[in-house]
Amino acid sequence: MRPAARALPILASVALSLCGRALAAETTVRIGACLSLTGAAAVYGAQQKAGILAAVDEVNRSGTLPGVRLEAIIEDDASTKEQGIAVFQRLIGRDRVSAIIGPTLSNTATAADPLAQAARVPVVAVSNTAPQGITDIGDYIWRVSLTEGQVIPGALKRAQAKLGFRTATVLYGNDDAFTQAGYNVMKGTLDSMGVKILATQTFAKPDRDYNAQLTALIGQKPDILVVSALVENAAGIVAQARQLGWRGPILGGNGFNSSALIKNAGPAAEDVLVGTSWNRVSPDPANQAFLKLMASRGFEPDQFCAQAYTGLLVIAEAMKLTGKTGRDDVKAGLARVTGLLTPLGRFSFLPSRDGEHEPALQQVKDGKFQIAQ
């Protein structure tokens, strides 16, 4: 962030705290956010920023924390580890934040989170999905986002309840840690569900032609085609599978969870199933209120927005539970958060400090992700 832009929230907070002092004895509590606002993950960062700002306003407006005015200090990590580390250092040392939300990418988290752990600053991850290497960094690292290991089993079970498949074939990228991990979860879940895996094929990230693998998989006549791929490959795989005449269901890992899939695969993406952490159409009052709030701000939220919003709510809840806003108070409070009503559903932490709530299954219908009931 440029110096002028950086000064803005500080000036605003000074102005706000002056107003606050005039009205009531209000203290300003800073919450840092390290988000990818530029670079490869900028699409996600923009959603997260909107979610956090909305949640801060909501908490301040509702008076959840009497005598406390929350202030978000949002900084850009440029989707890189190095910048993420620099942002963490600033948030911890200079801005004296009570807690940090982020970073957007698991990759950056593995590099930056240890700084917060060492400085005893609680971190709430809102989009890290790598099963290992995030919350196991230490007891100050917490996570709202569900891991691949939580979303994929939920999606597969819901899909089976809906479709009743008994056999599957699997295609996955074997040159990427994320798609490989997704495959391991898929295989484990399918095995435990008693679904027979008829064949497994692999591809590499630079590949553009998947006809050979798909022909072999489709030839086994499975009930469902399960794919673990990043979105660029996913679009090609889905398009080529449909071209080869596959009319059956396709279920993808988290890499499919992007509107780029629909844009790039076009009509071929229709009916594709993907697990998601956020059930957009959930009638839960907390979710409906969130949708209304974002609509009033003129913003179309996605999963990342809902997760970031929830991250801030969870921190506010931790402050409310302990009645204090210091770093160790937030950490102590996080451990006591249970059954919090959030847009993601009833939210609690597992003993591993990973979030727990019900994942959902979405399906592409008429060129949009819709929740599969």
Partner 1 sequence: MGQQIINGLFLGSIYALFALGYTLVFGVLDILNLAHAAVFMLASFFALALSTQLHLPIAGALPLTMVLAGLLGLLLERVAFRPLRGRADSNIAGLISSLAMATVFEAIALEVWGPNIRRFPEGTLPAATVSFRIEIPLVGGSVSLLQLAVISVAMVLVLGLTFLVRRSRLGREVRAVAESPRAAQVLGVNVDRTIAASFFISSALGGAAGILYGLSYNAISPDMGGSVELKGLAVIIVGGMGSMPGAVVAGFALGLIEVFVVAHLGASFRDAVSFAALFLVVVLRPRGLFGAASMREA
Q: Which amino acid is at 282?
A: S
Beta strands in the chain (DSSP E): 27-35, 68-76, 99-101, 123-125, 141-143, 167-173, 196-203, 224-228, 250-252, 273-276, 340-342, 345-349, 355-356, 360-365, 368-371
Q: Does 259 contact partner 1 by CB under 8 A?
A: no
Indicate whether 220 belongs to the interface with partner 1 (CB under 8 A): no
Please report whether residue 219 would count as binding partner 1 according to CB under 8 A: yes
Decide if residue 267 touches partner 1 (CB under 8 A): yes
State how far Cα 269 lies from the chain centre: 22
55 or 268: whose CB is closer to partner 1? 268
For partner 1, give the closer residue by CB, 245 or 285. 245
Among 106, 150, 213, 287, binds partner 1 (CB under 8 A): 213
Least distance (Å) between residue 210 CB and partner 1? 9
Q: How many residues at the interface with partner 1, by CB under 8 A?
A: 27
- Stretch of residues binding partner 1 (CB under 8 A), selected from 75-83, 134-142, 213-221, 333-341: 213-221
The window from 10-18, 103-111, 186-194, 242-250 that contacts partner 1 (CB under 8 A) reads: 242-250
Cα dihedral sign for 44, 336, 147, 370? negative
Stretch binding partner 1 (CB under 8 A), from 118-126, 139-147, 236-244, 343-351: 236-244
Q: How would DSSP label each residue in 208-237?
A: ---HHHHHHHHHT--SEEEEE--HHHHHHH
Closest CA to 187 of 147, 155, 153, 223: 153
Q: Which stretch binds partner 1 (CB under 8 A): 125-133, 183-191, 240-248, 341-349?
A: 240-248
Question: Do 274 and 362 touch, CB atoms closer than 8 A?
Answer: yes
**Helical (H) or strand (E) element with 26:** none
Q: Is 239 in the site for partner 1 (CB under 8 A)?
A: yes
Tell me if 205 contacts partner 1 by CB under 8 A.
no
The Cα 361–Cα 373 span in angstroms is 8
Contact status: 291 vs partner 1 (CB under 8 A):
no
> Would you count residue 356 as binding partner 1 (CB under 8 A)?
no
User: Which region, judged by CB under 8 A, interacts with partner 1, from 74-82, 230-238, 336-344, 356-364?
Assistant: 230-238
Q: What angle do CA 104, 292, 262 make, to 5 degrees?
A: 55
Look at the block and give the residue holding tokens 């407006």: 61
345 binds partner 1 (CB under 8 A): no
Q: Helices 285-296 & 303-322, crossing angle to 10 degrees?
A: 110
* Contacting positions for partner 1 (CB under 8 A): 174, 201-204, 206-209, 211-213, 215-216, 219, 232, 235-236, 239-240, 242-245, 264, 266-267
